[in-house]
Amino acid sequence: MVVKLLYFSAEWCGPCNTQSPIIDEIKEEYEDEIDVNKIDIEENEDVSAKYQVRSLPTIIVLTEDEDGNEELQDRFVGVTQKQDIEDSIKSAL
């Protein structure tokens, strides 16, 4: 099982600029445990549509099994505290 964090943002998004450093910290601290993917919604409209991203920033924590089946663990919309994201990651691990 793999734990993934999908971070949806855009360069023009003010709240995303606040959230991005937190995501960078999490990526560094959990690099051996989870996959962190930063996704620019303007460059990846298909991925944004797949996960029904309607507001920014959006953070999705999910698990993926060996067969590629995904299970949503958490969805955060808006600027989210690091501790809340970490709690979600720890419960998914």
Distance, CA of 65 to CA of 13 (rounded, Å): 32
Neighbours of 85 (CB within 10 A): 22
Catalytic residues: 13, 16
CB 16 within 8 A of CB 38: no
Q: Pull the structure tokens for residue 54.
A: 């309607």
